[in-house]
Structure formats: C-alpha cells, structure tokens
Amino acid sequence: MIPVQGVEGQTIAVLGLGRSGKATAAALAAGGANVIAWDDGNDTREAAAADGLTITDLTRDDAWQGVAALITSPGIPHLYPKPHPVIAKAYALGVPVDNDIGLFFRSYATADWEGFDRAPRVIAVTGSNGKSTTTALIHHILKEAGRPTQMGGNIGTGVLSLEPAEDGEVVVLELSSYQTELARALTPDVAVFTNLSPDHLDRHGGHGGYFAAKRRLFAEGGPDRAVIGVDEIEGLYLADQLSMGPADDRVIRVSSGQRLEGTAWSVFARKGHLAEYRKGRQAASIDLRAVTGLPGAHNHQNACAAYAACRAVGLAPREIEAAFRSFAGLPHRSQTVAEIGGVRYVNDSKATNVDAAAKALQAFDRIRWIAGGLGKEGGIGALAPCLGRVTKAYLIGHSARDFALEIGHTPYEIAETMEAAVAHAASEAEPGETVLLAPAAASFDQYPNFEKRGEHFTALVRALETR
C-alpha cells in the first residue's frame, strides 16, 4: 500500500466503495486521514461498515462539515451526462474533487528516494485500443530485463495498492479516460498515447471531450518523454503540441503501417518489421512476424509503443527483442486459445467496438467470425472493408439480426448463442482458417463483462480439444 501524503488530520470523503474505493480509503487512513465513505448500494455500504469504514450519507448537507476533499471512484460520472449528486454537492460547496490516480502521483515519491542509487520511474499508458496490451508488454519487458517493476491502474492492481517504490523501480500504469480526466496530479516520467477511436462519448460530452481527457496526461503532466501514436489526426496534433520542432527527441512518434521520417526519434512497423530511427539513422530493427503473442498490425503498433517506452527508460534493443518473443499476450485480446486440426481459435472478446474489431479482422485471413452482443451506436457498417477476409460470420446476442443487415454479401448465420456459434464454426472450418471471436459489441446482453464472454469461448474451444 502507498499511504497518501498531505492528509494527516484531515477529514476526507470517499465516494464509491468498489475495489478502488476501498483501497483509496485504506491508503488515506494509512496517511493519517479521518475517512468517511458513501456508496449508493446498500449491500456495499453494509459490507464496508463491517470492514470498519465510517459510513456517512454524503447526500445530506450536514455530512460535509469539515470535509477537506472528496475522492471519487472512476466509474462515477463527475461531468457528463451529469455529475453524480454527491459530486455536484461537492462542487457547490467548493470541496476539491479528486481520484486515486491524483492521490498516487502526489504520494508515490517519498523521502526514502534520497537514499536510492536510481530514482524510480512511472510509465503511464492511455489511448482507446491497445493500452492494456501495451501496458502488460512494457511490464513484461522490464521484468525480463531484470528491472524491478510493478503494474497497476486500470489493469491489475489499483494504484494505491501498489507497494512503495524500490531503488530503480519502474511502475507501469494503464490509465483510462475516466481516470485521467479528473486526477488533480498527473506527473509520469514517460507517457504513452496509443491511438484514438470513438468510445465513452456520452461520458465525455462527445469526441472532443474524450480526446481532451486523454490529452490531460500530457498537457498537465509534462512527462520527460512522450510516446505518441500518430496514425490518427489526434496523435499528430498531440505530438506537434508537445514538440519544439523536428530535432526535439522528447517526443517519440510511433506508427504501424507508415514510415516515419524527418523527426529526431521514431519507431514504426511496416510489413511485420519494427524499425527505430534516431536523428535520421536506423538504430534497430526487429522482425515481429514470428512473435505469436503480438499478431496483426494493431499489435505491431502496441509493440512499437512498448519498445519506445522501454527505450526511454534505458533498455537496449536486444533486451526488448528477447522479451517480445516470450510474451504470451493478454487474455481476450487476440489471444490464441488453441490450434485444432489446422484451425486456429482466437479470443478477442475485448474487441467491443468497431475499431477494435477491425484491427482483429485485419490480423488474420480466412476467418470464421463470431460477432454480436449488445451493439453500439453507429452499427458495424464501418467494418465493410475488412469483410473480404471473412469466410462466414456467426452472429450472436441481442444485435445479431441488426449485424446481419450490415454485412452485405458476407455469408452468415444467426447462431444466437456462443455454444452454437463455436460448434457450427468448428464443424465448418477448414485447415488454415481462423475461428475469431471479435464481437464488435458489448457483452451485457448475455454476459456480465467481456472477460466472462471470452472465458466461455475459451472453455468451448478447450472442450473441442478433448473430442
């Protein structure tokens, strides 16, 4: 646990008592704060009270006497579509609102660091797609290189549940737009922007607000190095805003699919090969085609971002290349589950939007595509350029029939359930084909989350192996 600094003797309110809320309350108490807490769920409040937390109804005006700050969990709206009533009350009373990410960045550095030979570093990763894979890959590379490292944030451990820093340690954080938008302190040493595609637009008041939430990690934080994916206009804009000119090597531009020239430091992948250029000269090259844990152009972009971040903290190209080859990938993200009878089965349940599904479809040829669920606004018409790779689609869930109307002449069947989709795809697949779960939809019509959907697909595929 990382005790929160600067709160001793203060009354701090915590809103939301899920994983991050409970960890925040504990870290505040460890820092000497008097913690009061509230959650909208009665069962959650009772469980927290049983654990010793002081439950105070923050919807009441008399609860705010002497409260110095409100710390809210990331899933609770604080601006759009409208603020939670407790947050609105804090605004009206002039009580500062923050989250656990802000507390982490103001509390991670301690006086103990003066005795370290090498100061700890923080790498923070944000973006729309690929940030979990990029975060996990950076963490894996650091471990393989023998660097002390922890991983947390939106993946793995909550930030305040991380252990205090070791000498020379690198903490790798995945940060969502929900987390970056509100944090009052954002000071990573290296900040990574993977890409941007429409998502969570209701929460951010539109596409511009969504990008602005991501941009805060760079504009507010002033990282020593910024790794920026420049395959979209937002990335190009952000890199330009952060750079003082072509010779400024504080910005490392990253791309999958285009050669980057004319800037001081760039990392890009083309035709399966990663290249690093510094000051106009090639510094390294890695063949990514044989790295089974990173299939497809979207994962090659992740590889470039992770490579650049690790180079920014001093790792050598050969160390990074060796770690690439031992990276198994993340569950539910272009994860190869099995190869049965020459047919590859891939779980990309995390592909919950059109952009992520497109990247998954572009990574493979001759695809038996399992798609559907709770479709998102705008439908899947934008996937049309990718459908030439699809041999047949097996559509499931609430939006199956809507999807069928949008996939043109692509052969399909309405499978309804995952069981039927996997069974029919497996019976019809031929050697050399890929059965790909890339739903392009949320899971909530049939599953509590994308993880459970991916686990169900994986279990069904494992059952095929035993036949």
Cα–Cα distance measured from residue 372 to residue 457, given in angstroms and rounded to the nearest whole number = 13
Residues of the chain with pLDDT under 70: 199
Q: Do 297 and 309 meet the contact criterion of CB atoms below 8 Å apart?
A: no
Contact residues for 141 (Cβ-Cβ < 8 A; gap 6+): 306, 310, 315, 319, 320, 323, 324, 327
The predicted structure's pLDDT at residue 180: 95
Q: Do 22 and 52 meet the contact criterion of CB atoms below 8 Å apart?
A: no
Residue 407 phi/psi, 5-degree rounding, is -105, 15
CA distances 62 to 17, 41, 58, 78, Å, are 21, 21, 8, 21
Residue 342 phi/psi, 5-degree rounding, is 80, 5
Residue 321 structure tokens: 């290349």
pTM for this one?
0.86
Q: Do 203 and 80 meet the contact criterion of CB atoms below 8 Å apart?
A: yes
Q: Do 175 and 126 meet the contact criterion of CB atoms below 8 Å apart?
A: yes
The predicted structure's pLDDT at residue 111: 93
The predicted structure's pLDDT at residue 10: 98
Q: Identify the burial level of 261 via C-beta atoms within 10 angstroms of its C-beta, where 0-12 means exposed, 13-18 middle and 19 or more buried.
A: exposed
Question: Does the annotation flag 133 for ligand binding?
Answer: yes
Question: Does the annotation flag 257 for ligand binding?
Answer: no
The domains located in the chain, with CATH, are 11-98 (3.40.50.720), 107-325 (3.40.1190.10), 335-465 (3.90.190.20)
Chain segment 293-347, per-residue pLDDT in tens: 898 888 999 999 999 999 999 999 999 999 999 998 888 988 889 999 999 999 9
Among 147, 146, 200, which residue's Cα sits nearest to residue 170?
147
Helix, coil or strand: residue 310: helix
Residue 289 structure tokens: 């085609």
Question: Does the annotation flag 128 for ligand binding?
Answer: yes
Question: Does the annotation flag 129 for ligand binding?
Answer: yes
The predicted structure's pLDDT at residue 290: 83
Chain segment 374-401, per-residue pLDDT in tens: 999 899 999 999 999 999 999 999 999 9
Mark out the alpha helices in 261-407 (DSSP H runs): 296-312, 317-325, 354-362, 400-406
Say which amino acid occupies 273. Answer: H
Question: Does the annotation flag 373 for ligand binding?
Answer: no
Is the Cα dihedral 59, 63, 69, 74 positive or negative? negative
The predicted structure's pLDDT at residue 462: 96
Question: Does the annotation flag 280 for ligand binding?
Answer: no
Cα–Cα distance measured from residue 393 to residue 384, given in angstroms and rounded to the nearest whole number = 13
